[in-house]
Amino acid sequence: MATPDKLKAADPARVWHVDIIVTEGFVLTEMSAILEVLRISNRVLAQPPFKWTVRSLQGGRVGCRAGLSVDTEPFAAKPDADFAFFLGNSDPDHPGLSMGRVISSYTCRGNKVYLLAEAAARYIRDQGGGDGRLTTHWENSALLRERMGLNDSSHALASEDGLVVTCAGMGSTVDIILALVGRLTSAAAQMTVGNILLHEQVRDFSSLQPFAGAKPTITGDSDLDQCIRIMQDNIEEPVPISDIVDELGISTRSLERKFKTFLGTTPNGFYREMRLSKANNLLLNTTMSVREIGLACGFPNGFSSLYKSFFGITPFALRKRRRMGGDGAEKPLEAGE
């Protein structure tokens, strides 16, 4: 199976399928974080890239501890989802969290799985420890240490071990799913979704869980953080990259290396994508004219052509399609759009 980055480059219009695995008593915070990030991603991108299915062992209605419930489909014998998220349920002893075979049914087909909080803790317990390669919520780490002497799990927000990503879960689920959106679409689209959620900073997997006193940043690099803030503050009248590096006190080459390392793009490419993502949001959610939107996002000329080259559709055609309820319009939650 190709990596997400290779697939993204080969087919920007691809639809990614996500399975969300729940057990009785699942954590609503984690469910809503996944669904809302995917839903908003579909709203802000011209070609909605995500579909999802909520699954459980038997299928049917499954409740969370907050008193709400969700309809689910049973596990697929040969799952075809590209990614699977296994939610925690505030009870690391819950027998339904022991899902070694289900996890293997995804990984053996080359699909990545994300284990959140108690789901990660059960995986670590079943593995007999993590050797520092695996992580879970710090409360679960304490339980593993007290009950089983397993004290070698990471305190990071998430740890990737091949196709298995163990995560702290809870509120950090927003960071995890935003990171996935950034990998599969673009860093600018990721930031737009984060801004709509009022989620100012997307924490890196290696960020320590808050109890450790870590100071969050946008990227983990102070120069890059400051550069992005300058770009965000200057959408309508873009600042030349040469002026930005002068303000930061670094070379253009150094800034380019940082963008390539952390975001997989160039400073100009990121800035352009950020402005296009802002334009797309205005296009879909305001009555401003296309010309007004182009000017508001720093594109005094050629906005429609540039928009089409990036999103694969003209601004006028997208607005017409949305008005007619065509592809990309928001649908009920069950539709997975």
As a whole number, mean pLDDT of residues 200-204 equals 84
- Kindly report the average pLDDT of the chain as a whole number: 84
Q: Which two tokens stand for residue 114?
A: 């994300």
- Band of residue 211 on the pLDDT scale cut at 50, 70, 90: low
3-state DSSP helix/strand/coil % of the chain, to nearest 5: 50, 15, 40
As a whole number, mean pLDDT of residues 268-272 equals 91
- pLDDT tens track for 51-101: 999 999 999 999 998 999 999 999 998 999 999 999 998 777 788 888 999
User: Does residue 2 register a pLDDT over 50?
Assistant: no
Percentage of residues in the chain having pLDDT higher than 90:
49
Three-state secondary structure along 253-315?
Answer: HHHHHHHHHHHCCCHHHHHHHHHHHHHHHHHHHCCCCHHHHHHHCCCCCCHHHHHHHHHCCCH
